Amino acid sequence: MTVSATLRVALPVPLPRLFDYLPPPGLDASAVAVGARLRVPFGQREVCGLVVGHGQAEPGVELRAALAAPDAAPLLQGELLASLRWLAGYLHAPLGEVLAAALPAALRRGEPLPDIIRYGWVLNEAGRTALAAMRAGKPKALAMLLAETRAEDWLDETSPGWRAPLRPLRERGLVERVKAGSESPFTKKVDSDPAFDPAFSPNAEQQLAIDAIRSANGFAPFLLDGVTGSGKTEVYLQAIANCLARGRQALVLVPEIGLTPQALTRFRARLGVPVHALHSGLNDNERAATWLAAASGQARVIVGTRSAVFVPLPEAGLIVVDEEHDGSYKQFDGIRYHARDFAIVRARALAVPVLLGSATPSLETLHNARCGRYELLRLRQRAGAARPPQVRVLDVRKRPLQAGLSEESLAAIRAALDAGGQVLVFRNRRGYAPVLLCHDCGWSAHCPRCSTPERPTAMTVHAHGKRLQCHHCGHRRPSPPACPDCASLALQPQGNGTERIEAELQARFDDVPVIRIDRGSTGQRDGLQKHFDALGNQPGILIGTQMLAKGHDLGNLVLVVVVGIDEGLFSADFRSGEKLAQLLIQVAGRAGRAERPGTVLLQTHHPEHPLLQTLVNGGYHVFADGELALREAAGFPPFAHLALLRAEAKQAEHPLQFLQLAKTLLEGSGIEVHGPLPAPMPRRAGYVRSQLLLAAPARAALHAALDAAVPALYAAPDARRVRWSLDVDPLDLY
């Protein structure tokens, strides 16, 4: 009997197993490399998986043949494939889903590999002849630029909207598309050192950090702990320049899409090589092209958000994680990985330095640095002539408020604008108001898909009171014209969101631009940067959510007013104090980053709260010292290791039954098992939610227990009645 060679395939399905297929007709199994994609039949549909091994068919077992092998060479191989296998094991997640998450969507779907050649445009002979006779306008301005070859990415960066004036030039046959060179079109080097800046003179602490990173040999984790405005980006640039000088690649992770254009502009202006972007604001082909450019070594510097941690780095030299404390690095659905933690795993496997930067390091990272696992680099002073902002706590008890703003805050805003400065009003709640309330009977608008009798979930008021939206499940409906309970017309939005503050400030300060920055106003590509460009350096007001707290360098910002922090002071989440402290320090750090001094006003009804007093009088590190002591006494991370098993279903009993089975499987394993209990938000989008919290003082004990229990959970009949997930190292308990 002939034994057939088979392909072991990891498919993007929620099953913890591999699948065997015969090779496509006319192709030997040995011709399909491990790490290459394979299109296969799966049930009644066709899916694209990745080959992870070869084998032999068992006698008597009939296997289906694969449909096609799209790749001549593997997409995932070497260090990246090994690291992804490790990640699947650490998260106790199906390997096929982890491998699929690492690929851009176009490649995940099995589409052909996109062209990664850089193209540009240039005037042809007819265009050079016609240039002098052209009428003034955008086509002529573009034609003058195209007197020499200009890469398309350079045109995207320097001349937004260039494709429209290109159209008449193409129709007249005056330009042609050509291959662009690999050298940087963004700038000319100003010195032999690509990161040279004649205006940058490192202070002693910056120089120590730069020297330490440059001298690192092999895997070396660094925490760059620098106050806001201390010049951490300059340290990044120097480290990346050294990496490039050694002929290596650098990966830079940033927490938000909004930071990417600013980082790209600064890096392109300084590094002398093309800088590639990778984030969800790009289309599928653009993301796939960048991923493949990194895999080929063509992309030397990649700047991206969370998923960029999965780019191949065949010539890796450095990984940078900016704002390492930021919760955006955690994936909260699907494969629940943490990009910062996986970046450290990859740096170890690649034997390269990894640089974690923050003004407010996470307590886990700070603990690792204090224990000697990471080398701590401190930047205690602001760069140049900038000075720390003056922070004042405003007691707003018994004071009249206009859209949440006190008269003292409004007067300070007027004074800052009259002095030619800019103002940031920070409110970490988007929408017009948090609640729509009937003043006659007390009715309020609740989400029908997320509320329970015990825990109603308010719908946020949007569009100046015309629309209601649930920020948990996305459910929307028009605001009712009258109270559904008593038919009263006394419906009033209660509280203040960014839209309401925007309306109040536009009416009061109609002589300056008032720009709202939140998820609703920055949906377009590069939307955040466009708002910053529109404001420029002129006096004006920015109103926004936590998007504005993350690393933006606003040189003319002299005043920050923080509104509505009180709800964060009394959260039951054990991480709430850390998150609020980080948020307040980060948003306060936007003020006074140039020569002009900055002021921060913290409005609160609880001016004596210990967290506020600690931050104002001692700073973040004094807060961190106290919080770490409390965490150690309570047995919370970083002194314990957690996993959260969640389950949800339409019927309340099914999640509890599934979690009770899980508890039975985990009992006696030497770890603490808490629950099953209703989730802090017990209903969302129509599903009843319960959870099981697992804790262990040692990571090995936690994973040993999960290794034993998780396969049985997948096989359990109760698992088919619920949607369940396992979150290792959860950032929140919701």
pLDDT tens digit string along 666-679? 998 889 999 999 99
Look at 121-135, 244-258, 525-539 and tell me which has the smallest mean pLDDT: 525-539
For the record, the structure tokens of 272 come out as: 């002398």
Residue range 204-379 in CATH 3.40.50.300: yes
Give the bridge partners for 417, in sequence order.
none
> Region 632-637: what's the mean pLDDT?
93
Residues of the chain above pLDDT 70, percent = 94
Give the bridge partners for 607, in sequence order.
none
Cβ count near 136 (within 10 Å): 7
Where do the DSSP E strands lie in 275-323?
A: 275-278, 301-304, 316-322
Q: How confident is the model at residue 2 (pLDDT cuts 50, 70, 90)?
A: low
pLDDT tens digit string along 100-140? 999 999 999 999 988 777 778 999 999 999 988 898 899 99
- How far CA 175 is from CA of 159, 169, 170, in Å, comes to 17, 6, 6
- Taking a C-beta distance cutoff of 8 angstroms, is the pair 6, 22 a contact? yes
Cα distance between residue 88 and residue 313, in whole Å: 19
Please tell me whether residue 162 adopts helix, strand or coil conformation: coil
CA angle 452, 455, 460 (to 5 degrees): 95
pLDDT of residue 525: 60
- How far CA 431 is from CA of 342, 468, 492, 529, 543, in Å, comes to 34, 9, 14, 21, 12
Nearest partner of 19 among 60, 71, 67, 55, judged by Cα: 55
Query: Does pLDDT of 191 surpass 50?
Result: no
Look at 30-39, 60-69, 244-253 and tell me which has the smallest mean pLDDT: 60-69
Q: Is 564 left (phi over 0), alpha (psi -120 to 50) or beta?
A: left
More confident residue, 323 or 228: 323
Q: Which top CATH class is 641-728? A: alpha beta
More confident residue, 322 or 266: 322
Say what the pTM is.
0.88
Nearest partner of 236 among 163, 318, 346, judged by Cα: 318
More confident residue, 523 or 397: 397
Query: Does pLDDT of 190 surpass 50?
Result: no
Q: What is the per-residue burial (b if ≥16 Cβ within 10 Å, else e) of 348-384?
A: ebbebbbbbbbbbbbbbbbbbbeeeebbbbbbebbbe
Query: Does pLDDT of 196 surpass 70?
Result: no
pLDDT tens digit string along 356-381? 999 999 999 999 999 999 999 999 88
Cβ count near 696 (within 10 Å): 21
Strand 641-649 relative to strand 687-696, pairing: antiparallel
Query: Does pLDDT of 57 surpass 50?
Result: yes
Name the phi and psi angles at 348, rounded to 5: -65, -45
pLDDT of residue 280: 83
Where do the DSSP E strands lie in 571-638?
A: 599-604
For the record, the structure tokens of 621 come out as: 């590190």
> Region 368-397: what's the mean pLDDT?
87
In this structure, CATH architecture of domain 5-108 = 3-Layer(aba) Sandwich (3.40)
Please tell me whether residue 104 adopts helix, strand or coil conformation: coil
Average pLDDT of the residues of the chain = 89
More confident residue, 510 or 556: 510
Q: How many residues does the chain have?
A: 734
More confident residue, 264 or 244: 244
SS3 assignment for 509-564: CCCCCEEEECCCCCCCCCHHHHHHHHHCCCCEEEEECHHHHCCCCCCCEEEEEEEC
Residues of the chain above pLDDT 90, percent = 61
CATH superfamily, domain 390-431+497-632, is: P-loop containing nucleotide triphosphate hydrolases (3.40.50.300)
Look up residue 458 and give its DSSP letter.
Answer: B
For the record, the structure tokens of 247 come out as: 């002929």
Cα distance between residue 312 and residue 309, in whole Å: 9
Query: Does pLDDT of 194 surpass 50?
Result: yes
Residue 638 exposed, middle or buried by CB count within 10 Å (0-12, 13-18, 19+): middle
pLDDT tens digit string along 637-648? 999 999 999 999
Give the bridge partners for 723, in sequence order.
648
**Helix locations, 357-497, DSSP H:** 363-370, 407-418
Cβ count near 45 (within 10 Å): 6
